[in-house]
Amino acid sequence: MNIDAKYINSIGMILTGCDSILEHPDWSSFAVVFDINEGHMASSGFIYVNDKIIPASASFANLGDKKALSNKIREFQQAVFEACGHKFVQLLIQMNSAGKIHIDFEFDNPKRWNMGPANYRAMREQLRPAFD
């Protein structure tokens, strides 16, 4: 799949300004899962600060355009659809403080990266970015 990196870079830049990241300036990496359907988008994930793991979401209290991130993700979803004929229902974005970004898509299972009491601890580690 050949997708313009501008989408990934823009999403990464916007995410580094989210409230959770700004509250933890010593973050080493983060992982955020976006659940996307036609009328709604939600996010959940974790910030990794040394040995600490902090629950996080992609929320913005001080962003002028509160829909900038969701609009960019929807543009990205459309670009992926045009490239491969499928829309993703979940998007995983992992990033480290050096600016490396990894993304993964889920096209079929809208619960692949869902978190709840039964799998919360496992998901914290499963989503932890591992950049080599």
Q: Where are the domains of the chain?
A: 5-126
Sign of the Cα torsion 5, 79, 17, 115 reads: negative
Q: What is the DSSP letter of 31?
A: E
The predicted model scores a pTM of: 0.91
Instruction: Determine the Cα angle at 126 with ends 121 and 130, to 5°.
Output: 130
Residue 66: predicted pLDDT: 65
Alpha helices in the chain (DSSP H): 5-15, 19-22, 68-84, 120-126
Domain at 5-126, CATH class? alpha beta
Per-residue pLDDT of the chain (132 residues; tens, 9 = 90+): 677 889 999 999 988 888 888 899 999 999 999 999 888 899 999 999 988 999 998 887 665 666 888 999 999 999 999 999 999 999 999 999 999 999 999 999 999 999 889 998 999 999 999 987
Residue 62: predicted pLDDT: 65
**What is the Cα–Cα distance from 42 to 59, expressed in whole angstroms?**
10
Residue 38: predicted pLDDT: 84
